[in-house]
Homo-oligomer: A and B are copies of this chain.
Amino acid sequence: MKYSKLFGKTIRDVPKDASVASHQLLLRAGFIRESTAGRYYLLPLGLRVQQKIQSIIKEELDQAGAQEMATPILHPKYLWEETNRTKAIGFELMSIKDRNDFEFVLGGTAEEMLVDLVRKFQISYKDLPFNLYQFSIKFRDELRARGGLLRLREFLMKDGYSFHISEEDFKREYQNMIDTYTKIFQRLGLKTQIVEADNGYIGGEYSHEFVVESDNGESRYFTDGEGYSAHEDVAKFSLESVGSDEAMKPLQEVEGKGIIGVEELAKFLKIPVEKTTKTILFETDTGEVVAAAVRGGFDINEEKLVKIIGCKMLKLASAEIVQSITGAKVGYAGVLNLPQEVKVYLDESTANRKNFEMGSNKTNYHTINVNFGRDLPEPEQFYDFKIAKEGFIGPNGQKLIAKKGIEVGNIFQLGFYYSAKMKGAEFTDADGKKKKYYMGCYGIGLARSLATIVEVYHDDKGIIWPEAVAPFLVHIVGLDMEAESVKDEAERVYKLLLAEGIEVLLDDRIGVSAGEKFADCDLIGIPYRVVISKKTTDKLEVKKRSEKQTAFVTFAELLKLVKG
């Protein structure tokens, strides 16, 4: 490709609304342009990279036995109603009617579509297992798009769905996909952590995210440096035991005007932080008010609590509601004397304590020396809805380290989540009986992977593409191109490289300074730079984008170098 003909030139200025590196660089280097928020044009350079990513994913998945196919983008809405996912919160679904008022949703994931396809066939145990995948445009009506390609509303996704006769066979495939994804991301140059995660609106019981550590990521997770990694929504950690063999003391209300924070309160009451209790009132999506309490020093993870309550959404109860229910201002809630209709959820961190503190439901008052069994009934059940924090002890006994990263892929156990809900989602087993199949699903976001590569591989001058995904392998910078002999030499080398099957971008522009050409070359980030100018002799000046030193090599040596 000649740069003079390439559509989508570089720009020098950093775009105003682009804050993350990948967004800035992809815009400036001419890989992408925004259409509307969260929807991008991929320019020829950007599409080339995405296609390389796509090829790598396809190769590895085919190698792993998966089969590519394609579903329509418009999914009949009745399928999503069959699984009740039209009502799932967190899924930013868009729907549309055709001229006959038939309703569709714009595909976000395709579990129902795949089950609907598979049930068109009379499948038997002999047909199982299979893993079907597609590359298709997916839609998420996100509240906020951000970071260029990092969170899009419309993007190319690889989504795969596997079908099994048993959980055991599914587990084999789940491991197969873990291995395959690991290989894929390695080939893309991305070092991924496999992080336990929440299944959310996808359903099923467990899942894993493939996360690339990055400050620009939105996935917050914990690792213990010893193999345990989990998203904050599901991270497990052990509780330090709190002494519980002391004798019960008399219950007492203490005035502590305006003292709300746990640390301040503990100091004021002269008790350890773990004897304080944080009680929060929430409203559910159905308008119910619930109270949730954790031990001082912990916070509540709303995702965990939503699952425990079995509701779809939670929000903090308004000050008015808190006042009307507790009779006190915000900050003094406790579970001692709440109206009966307010359901109480106690985190396990509140258990095994003696003489603990709790809000009095009375403005400015805290009750101390509270004890289960005496002041409060011994609860039937404690729950786990605490959020992990850096320094907490993980399940392997190591301290947890907080991380941020970009989720580039995820894999889900679905189990019978879909096949149980959808009619005819079954196979005929060897015994002639119809049985529900066991499922898993597997996703990779291509545009986000592309942006993540840029997050990892760049410097202050531009992108530094890994060879496997680079839009071109060699960037010939032609200087003095107005001189016929230089132009001829540049064209000669260009054609020789092309003839060797090497992808080359030739900067053949006339009237552009050497400085500009070098700056563009660094910005675009093609792995090998070859300079051809008046000074070029029988040796070619070559430099790797990722290195500083240049070398002078023969064409044969250049070939050897770039062919690796």
| CB nearest to A73 among chain B residues | B137
Segment at the B interface, from A94-102, A336-344, A415-423, A479-487: A94-102
A130: B residues at CB distance < 8 A: 5, 7
Q: A33 — nearest CB in chain B belongs to which residue?
A: B120
In Å, the complex CA distance between A143 and B98 comes to 10
Would A154 and B41 count as touching, CB distance under 8 A?
no
- Residues facing B in A17-36 (CB within 8 A) are 33, 35-36
- A33 to B117, Cβ gap below 8 A? yes
A47 touches B35 (CB 8 A): no
Chain B residues, CB < 8 A from A41: 69-72, 113, 117
Distance between A158 CB and nearest chain B CB, rounded to angstroms: 14
Complex contacts, A117 vs chain B, CB 8 Å: 33, 35, 41
Judge if A116 is at the interface, Cβ distance under 8 Å: yes
- A43-85 residues with Cβ-Cβ distance < 8 A to B are 43-44, 46-47, 50, 65, 67-76
A4 within 8 A of B: yes
Closest approach, in angstroms, between the C-beta of A441 and any C-beta of chain B?
Answer: 15
What copy number does this chain have within its complex? 2
Measured CA separation A195–B74 after assembly (Å): 33
What B residues does A75 contact at CB under 8 A? 35
Q: Output the nearest chain B residue to A142 by Cβ-Cβ distance.
A: B99
Residues from 98 to 126 in A contacting B, C-beta threshold 8 Å = 98-99, 102, 104, 106, 113, 116-117, 120-121, 126
Decide if A92 touches B99 in the complex (CB within 8 Å): yes
Q: List the B residue with the shortest CB-CB distance to A136.
A: B137
Query: Is B99 a contact partner of A96 (Cβ separation < 8 A)?
Result: no
Q: Which residues in A have some Cβ–Cβ distance to B below 8 Å?
A: 4-9, 33, 35-36, 39-44, 46-47, 50, 65, 67-76, 92, 94-96, 98-99, 102, 104, 106, 113, 116-117, 120-121, 126-127, 130, 132, 136-137, 139, 141, 143, 153-154
